Structure 1
Amino acid sequence: MTDSGWATDPVLRRTLVAAGLPVVGRFVSKGGWVSRVWVGDEYVVRLNSNERFRDAYRHEAAVVGLLAGSEVPHARRLAHGDGPDGPWYISERLPGRTLYDAWPGADSHTRQAMIESLGAALRALHRVPVPAGLLPPWLADALAGKPWPAFHPPVVSATLQQVEAARRLPSNDSRLLADVADWVQERLALFATDVPVLVHGDLHGSNVIVDQGRVTGIIDFAEALAQPADVELDTILRWCARAREYPPTPDEQGLAETTLAEVPGWLHSAYPELFEREQLRERLNFYDMYGELALYAHHPQPEIRKAAQHRIARLLSGHNHLDGLAW
């Protein structure tokens, strides 16, 4: 993180001018996985130069528009657009800091309060009316056969499609994939009566802002989509079990999993409906299978595909990252 002073970065200045905002105020430059970010006293500026995530900010702006008038704590959008440096998005700055940053120094009571507040925020989010079939444009492109820039969140109806994509790999394990196809077919009925809700799709410590033990905002809705509510739980439990894989930037470290051991229980107490679906473990396993299949079928690195193949085999035997969680 670096202090860029009084909007001296020329890219930041051009973006502020394009948004019709004053080119004054102290901003702190922060790294990210996809975006460049400047955090100011009043607003946050993000710039996306990664063309693989087509229309990510347009999608986020549309989703944030759905939240207007709801009880979902979120950052109000101030402006978004396209410029010579790439697409940009400006939102108000929320009080507090990310859950990732606040967690290590918080005591157990404060941690519990933050997770209970998150449960209330998620309940409100899942009650927001959502357009049928809402998908991020980059994910819709990937499902249509274009390159995959990311491999989550899961899309239940596209799971068998990922099996077929994996079968087209020259080095595919045909016997394994035949077993996977049967496994998926046997479980599709679990989702037959689901009513999709608005799901954030990438909910972990870096996408939640907290202040004084409560959530002041859920941020970064670029992956939001219409899916069953417990898709949200899939991401949260994965974060708890494999937190080191969720650092806020590529050059930082994720939280220690041991510090998140009580999160599922606290969330369960605050939002019990999220855990009450019949055969919840099988549903969560299904979401996990989707993610591993997407990696196996589409990831460009052979070692990542090999690791996904191993985890798929473990899932077929009933084991995955959920085994060690108390939820």
Structure 2
Amino acid sequence: MTVHRMPAAEVEVSVALVRRLLAEQHPDLAGLPVEVLANGWDNLVCRLGADLLVRLPRRAAAAELLAHEQRWLPELAGRLPLPVPAPVRVGRPAEGFPWAWSVVPYLPGDNAAHATLPDSEAAALGGFLAALHLPAAPDAPVNVFRGIPLVGRAEGVHAGLEHLADASDRAAALRVWQTAVTAPARTGPPLWLHGDLHPANILVDAGRISAVIDFGDLTSGDPATDLAVAWMLFPDAHRRSVLRRAYGRADDDAWTRARGWALVLALVLHTHSADSPLMAGIGERTLRAVLADDGRAV
């Protein structure tokens, strides 16, 4: 299995830097308490008082993703029925820090990876996706790995299949893939996509979906990429059907492609999450859901 280790920060990020940037650019926020919430692959995230977070990119690739959120989330947030982290303040490069940074709302909840959600939340997520998946702006981001025709992921899928130890799993996954990759491609204008909609980017609070986060991979294209979340979050076919009905626009071909995308993402996580038990677990559960799905229309 390929092991992916967290990349080193390309610039030094710290609470002290956050305080200096706030004091210079947003002095009305500078007196609030600042504490590290997460120092991850892409961003240093600090709690700022009770209601806000500060996000500083740790590397250039992350700065580009954060710029997508700054540009587009304020426009999209108003039509979405669940909270999203649209920036409330934008910071500029300063104090030796080379990139833009954001102050966003603190959205309560834990990631949905281990949540068991009722039908109402499957419907809520379907409604959220229906509201998001509208024709994208002409200058919307385009991602060469997401929202594309499934055939563009064929090489990675066949490589990922080799990492499945069980021969019956490999055979079943190959059947799913062949069905999905030969389904008719989507026609029509590219739609807005979250682009990275897995359970760790969905927050749950008191048994309900409280927010959808991490829109750095926001892109445009075939919504089947996002609809893969049905298998990533709901192991049972019934709740997937609830999501599909609430979404309302997934014909059988789109749903077949979505199952193919769920397989794509399951194999990626299975192959490349050796240092992340959380993501490896999401990959394994998604794979089991995909292989247990008989593919019949719901």
TM-score w.r.t. the length of structure 2 is 0.64
**Structure 1 pair 237–85 and aligned structure 2 pair: CA distance change class (3 A):** farther
The alignment partner of 1:279 has SS state of: helix
Out of 218, 233, 240, which is 1:264 matched to? 240
- Measured after TM superposition, the shift of residue 278 of structure 1 is 2.3
Q: Which amino acid aligns with 2:115?
A: W
The alignment partner of 1:59 has SS state of: helix
Answer yes or no: is 1:29 the counterpart of 2:5.
Answer: no
The alignment partner of 1:79 has SS state of: strand
**Structure 1 pair 264–80 and aligned structure 2 pair: CA distance change class (3 A):** farther
- Do the aligned partners of 2:147 and 2:222 also contact (CA within 8 Å) in 1? no
**Structure 1 pair 131–272 and aligned structure 2 pair: CA distance change class (3 A):** closer
C-alpha distance in 2 between matches for 1:214 and 1:193: 34
**Structure 1 pair 86–293 and aligned structure 2 pair: CA distance change class (3 A):** farther
- Do the aligned partners of 1:199 and 1:232 also contact (CA within 8 Å) in 2? yes
Structure 2 match to 1:93: 106
C-alpha distance in 2 between matches for 1:71 and 1:113: 17
The alignment partner of 1:231 has SS state of: helix
- Do the aligned partners of 1:204 and 1:239 also contact (CA within 8 Å) in 2? yes
Answer yes or no: is 1:50 the counterpart of 2:18.
Answer: no
Q: Which amino acid aligns with 1:66?
A: E
- Do the aligned partners of 2:19 and 2:34 also contact (CA within 8 Å) in 1? no
- Measured after TM superposition, the shift of residue 264 of structure 1 is 2.4
The alignment partner of 2:60 has SS state of: coil
Q: Percent identity?
A: 20
- Do the aligned partners of 2:36 and 2:47 also contact (CA within 8 Å) in 1? yes
The alignment partner of 1:90 has SS state of: strand
Answer yes or no: is 1:123 the counterpart of 2:130.
Answer: yes
Out of 76, 92, 98, which is 2:86 matched to? 76
- Measured after TM superposition, the shift of residue 212 of structure 1 is 5.0
Aligned residues: 250
Out of 153, 156, 162, which is 2:148 matched to? 156
Deviations 1:251-302 (A, max 9, x none): xxxxxxxxx7865244235x2425x32234541354357668989xxx8x9x
Deviations 1:204-243 (A, max 9, x none): 33323444554443222101111222221114423556xx
Unaligned runs of 5+ in 1: 1-7, 144-152, 168-179, 242-259, 302-318
Out of 47, 52, 65, which is 1:39 matched to? 47
Aligned-residue RMSD, C-alpha = 4.4
**Structure 1 pair 16–116 and aligned structure 2 pair: CA distance change class (3 A):** farther
C-alpha distance in 2 between matches for 1:282 and 1:23: 50
- Do the aligned partners of 1:163 and 1:293 also contact (CA within 8 Å) in 2? no
- Do the aligned partners of 2:19 and 2:30 also contact (CA within 8 Å) in 1? yes
**Structure 1 pair 267–191 and aligned structure 2 pair: CA distance change class (3 A):** same
Q: How does 1:242-321 map to 2 (within 5 A)?
A: 263-269=239-245, 271-274=246-249, 276-280=250-254, 282-287=256-261
- Do the aligned partners of 1:98 and 1:207 also contact (CA within 8 Å) in 2? no
- Do the aligned partners of 1:47 and 1:86 also contact (CA within 8 Å) in 2? no
Q: How does 1:160-309 map to 2 (within 5 A)?
A: 160=152, 163=155, 187=181, 190-211=184-205, 214-240=208-234, 263-269=239-245, 271-274=246-249, 276-280=250-254, 282-287=256-261
Out of 112, 115, 118, which is 1:103 matched to? 115
C-alpha distance in 1 between matches for 2:150 and 2:59: 25
- Measured after TM superposition, the shift of residue 16 of structure 1 is 2.0
The alignment partner of 1:121 has SS state of: helix
**Structure 1 pair 262–292 and aligned structure 2 pair: CA distance change class (3 A):** closer
